[in-house]
Amino acid sequence: MTDIQGFAIRRNNSCLSDEVGCGKTWDDWHACCPHGSYCPGSRISIPNNVCCPSWTDCTADIDPPKCANNTWNMYNYTGSFCCMSDQTGFMFKGTDWVGCLDPDSPGNASYSALRVISSATSTASATSTAALTSTANTEATTTASASATPGPSSNSSSHTNTGAIAGGVVGGVVGVAAIAALLFFFMRRSRKQQPQTQPQGLGQYPQYGYGGKPLSPPSELDSHPVPAELMSTVGPKHELPGSH
């Protein structure tokens, strides 16, 4: 026995070579089931064509409704049926006939398109979303666990960062102090090299005298600066006689 069970697909002209045929539904349309399954509608009269694990009608067991192949899209019009994922299900107006149109089919004015009930694409998308959500939850749990229980490597990294920051601060302070010392040295040296000028006209004499009064510059003695000669009455000296 097989575990395949679900609603049959509709194909125009005939079923595929590896499928189980359920017979014609109307005109050239056939109901088909996957290989390995059974189509009890080909032997007994049932309201709709279903694919079952055995010849027993399994319609009541298909809950929720689904296609016999999970790559098919499912439609419903007076009963569920399936089409290929790139086809569109339709109903023939005024009847209970249904079929599947290819994307490039010209269609027919009597055909009315039906809404997809379930599709392989939406199912796969839901599965992928669930997988992504599960992965995200796992990563969040791992991250929270790692944050709550830091290992030795975290402490080591913290100490290393603190030491690096402290070293950088000390180095910066020392550098600023060295620059300030160099600036002070060059400014002081520049001041020492500047010549010290004295007020003109004073020379080496102080500017102020006793009592804070300014001193006048030195001058010659009274109006006779040159010493006078001795009086003319005084004759020249004579040497003593040689007898002395």
Q: What pLDDT, on a 0 to 100 scale, did the predictor assign at position 132? A: 40
Euclidean distance between CA atoms 84 and 11, whole angstroms: 9
Residue 102 has pLDDT above 70, yes or no: yes
- Rounded CA-CA distance 13/25 in Å is 11
| pLDDT-based confidence at residue 24 (cuts at 50, 70, 90) | very high
> How confident is residue 180, by pLDDT bands cut at 50, 70 and 90?
confident
Q: Which residues, 6 or more positions from 115, have their beta carbon under 8 angstroms from its beta carbon? A: 75
Three-point CA angle 73, 75, 79, nearest 5°: 135
- Tell me, rounded to whole angstroms, the distance of Cα 99 from its chain centroid: 51
Residues, the chain: 244
**Could you tell me if 54 and 38 are in contact, meaning their C-beta atoms sit under 8 angstroms apart?**
yes
Q: Which residue has the higher pLDDT, 9 or 123?
A: 9
Does the pLDDT of residue 11 top 50, yes or no?
yes
More confident residue, 139 or 175: 175
Residue 217 has pLDDT above 80, yes or no: no
Statement: residue 72 has pLDDT above 70 = yes
Partnered with residue 88 across adjacent β-strands are 101
- The pTM of this model reads 0.50
**Higher pLDDT, residue 172 or 149:** 172
| Residue 120 burial (10 A CB sphere; 0-12, 13-18, 19+) | middle
pLDDT at position 205 over 80 = no
pLDDT at 17 over 70: yes
Checking if the pLDDT of 164 tops 70, the result is: no
Q: What does the pLDDT average to over 199-206?
A: 48
- Among the residue ranges 59-68, 118-127, 181-190, 200-209, the one predicted with the least confidence is 200-209
**Interval 232-241: pLDDT, tens:** 444 555 555 5
CA distance 140 to 154: 19
Task: Give the end-to-end CA distance of the chain in Å, rounded to a whole number.
Answer: 183
User: Does residue 75 surpass a pLDDT of 60?
Assistant: yes
State whether the Cα torsion 99-100-105-110 is positive or negative. Answer: positive
Residues in Cβ contact with 6 at an 8 Å cutoff, skipping those fewer than 6 apart: 50, 51, 62, 66, 67, 68, 69, 82
Q: Give the per-residue pLDDT at 80.
A: 96
> Residue 128: its pLDDT value, please?
40
Contacts of 25 (CB under 8 A, 6+ apart): 10, 31, 49, 97, 98
Confidence of residue 133 (pLDDT cuts 50, 70, 90): very low
List, as one string, the DSSP characters of 67-103: BSSTTEEEEESSSEEEEETTSEEEEETTSS-EEEE-T
**62: which 2 tokens?**
């298909």
